[in-house]
Amino acid sequence: MNALKIITVVLLVAAIAAAAVLIGIDYSEAEQTQPLDIDEAMFAESYPDYKNDVYLDKGDDPDLNELGLFWCREVSPGVVEMVPADTEEGAGIVDTSKPTVINVHGMMNDGHYRIEDYVFNTEIGSSEEFGYSEEEVPYDTLQTLWMWLDRGWNVGVYNWHRFTSEGMNFAIIEAKVWSTDGSGNTRWCSSDGEYHDNPIEYSVAELFVGDYLRAVDLLPDDFGKEEIRFTAHSMGGELISASSFLLYQIASGSSPQISADKLPVRMTMDDTFFGATAEYGGEVVGATETGLNVRWSGKPVPGGRPGRAVIEALKYLAANGVVIDYYTYSGSFLNLFITAGDRQDLLDSTVYILANPQYNNPDYGNYSFLTDGHVALRKYSQCSICREYPGGEMTDAEKVAYADALPTEEMRSLIGKAFQMTGGSSTMTTADDVFVERTRDEIMQAASLG
């Protein structure tokens, strides 16, 4: 993508985001369901042996060895360390009597020299807000990953930061998720800022699948008897959509590569990237890589754009029983770039939640709804696990306020519904949140810019 196109897209992003502020608003069977309207490009006649053949040859390279799937364990209150999931040491961390969550980060401009650490902006929130003592759990080192450990979950992390370090070239990153024939192929950036082209013959989604299968293979057979959940932020939402689609595909057929009980039953998507394409004034505008093929099928990407492939994957996963909760906010250009047709399918397949974090509380210092809301939304969603869900009689809007702490089967009952936060937006905790249910027409109208 040249500089002029980048500038054009950035200006469009700013215009759309500004307009948004004014608007203000136990799958366990091996047999898979394929909805009749899923694009055939998503499906391959055969798939690689992902566990044995699909991997990144890391050697002794310290940069490459930062990538892949890791399990987390506590170092000190509030702090975790990551242990490679394809090792006996990593496998030993997992307790199969507990539920499991795997987190995937989004685009990282600084990914060639920094691993996502999942810490908070210290000007937003406090340890006390989540029920911890500042002396025992210092807020400046508190990681959302640790909160899930503390609540009794196995916690995994998928690191792909060196693939996402592409400056403002987000189109290059999303192409890597699905394909190997984009302008950036599947290159990665080392700590010295140098790009390494064509390191692998598979897409990044396929790397995730290979890493996941090898990690699961090291675990006891009863892994999966408790819930498996994937959570992702921004561009990571594209990755878990593609990877989960593949996992469900290779769990079916006469020679499954993974048993159905090892599949994710829920996906929490925090301000997902659906491509930089939107309808504006009757025109489709934006920027995306063109001429891509889905790597595993060899067929053109649905609709000619990876963003549509995400929607196709979500439709397929929803039809196969995966519970998908999608969080965004009214100032999110990622949400406003979604075309009308894509949004209709998204509303059908998910619980659609406008959380609208606006941390302009004087206690929090400087915060911008437009520039900080995107990352703050991930932290808002992940830290919600600290709440205890009491059950009993609640309205749908009251249930949604529990966010990640809402049990999956309760969230399942809300699929196809949309909600918007009307109270509690100035605090990170979800304890004071108030939501109202919105109609599909209200959501569509609020997102329409032309």
pLDDT at 291: 92
How far apart (Å, rounded) are the C-alpha atoms in residues 371 and 384? 22
Output the pTM of the full model: 0.91
DSSP characters for 217-245? HTS-TTTTSS-EEEEEETHHHHHHHHHHH
**Residue pair 187/166 in contact by the 8 Å Cβ criterion:** no
pLDDT at 374: 84
CB burial string 38-71: b at 16+ within 10 A, e below: bbebbbbeebbebbeebbbeeeeeebbebbbbbb
Write the CA distances from 386 to 271, 367, 382, integer angstroms. Answer: 20, 23, 9
Is a pLDDT exceeding 80 seen at residue 4?
no
How far apart (Å, rounded) are the C-alpha atoms in residues 240 and 314? 10
3-state helix, strand, coil in the chain (%, to 5): 35, 15, 45
pLDDT at 31: 56
**Cα–Cα nearest to 206, from 236, 262, 244, 170:** 244
DSSP characters for 380-398? HHHHGGGSPP--SS--HHH
Q: Is residue 416 left, alpha or beta, with left meaning phi > 0 and alpha meaning psi from -120 to 50?
A: left
How far apart (Å, rounded) are the C-alpha atoms in residues 121 and 57? 35
pLDDT at 411: 98
Cα dihedral 267, 70, 249, 161 in deg (nearest 10): 80
How far apart (Å, rounded) are the C-alpha atoms in residues 342 and 324? 15
Q: What is the pLDDT of residues 133-181, one digit of tens each?
A: 999 999 999 999 999 999 999 999 999 999 999 988 899 999 999 999 9
**Residue 332 pLDDT class (50, 70, 90 cuts):** confident
- What residues does each domain of the chain span? 3-447
pLDDT at 377: 86
> Residue 430's CB: how many other CB atoms inside 10 A?
26
Is a pLDDT exceeding 50 seen at residue 297?
yes
**Residue 58 pLDDT class (50, 70, 90 cuts):** very high
Cα dihedral 387, 388, 390, 393 in deg (nearest 10): 20
**Residue 16 pLDDT class (50, 70, 90 cuts):** very low
Write the CA distances from 298 to 34, 202, 306, integer angstroms. Answer: 19, 12, 14
Q: What is the pLDDT of residues 37-49, one digit of tens each?
A: 999 999 999 999 9
pLDDT at 8: 39
Q: What is the pLDDT of residues 237-246, one digit of tens each?
A: 999 999 999 9
**Residue 7 pLDDT class (50, 70, 90 cuts):** very low
Is a pLDDT exceeding 80 seen at residue 447?
no
Q: What is the pLDDT of residues 371-427, one digit of tens each?
A: 678 888 888 899 999 999 999 999 999 999 999 999 999 999 999 999 999 999 888
Q: Which residues lie across from 419 on neighbouring strands? A: 353, 437
Of 15-29, 122-136, 299-313, 351-365, the poorest mean pLDDT is in: 15-29
How far apart (Å, rounded) are the C-alpha atoms in residues 431 and 434? 9
Q: What is the percent of the chain with per-residue pLDDT over 90, rounded to a whole number? A: 72
Is a pLDDT exceeding 80 seen at residue 450?
no
Beta pairing class for 283-287 and 323-328: unpaired
**Residue 200 pLDDT class (50, 70, 90 cuts):** confident
How far apart (Å, rounded) are the C-alpha atoms in residues 66 and 18? 37
Q: What is the pLDDT of residues 67-96, one digit of tens each?
A: 999 999 999 999 999 999 999 999 999 999
Write the CA distances from 1 to 30, 117, 150, 323, 412, integer angstroms. Answer: 42, 29, 43, 35, 40
Is a pLDDT exceeding 90 seen at residue 28?
no
How far apart (Å, rounded) are the C-alpha atoms in residues 268 and 277? 22
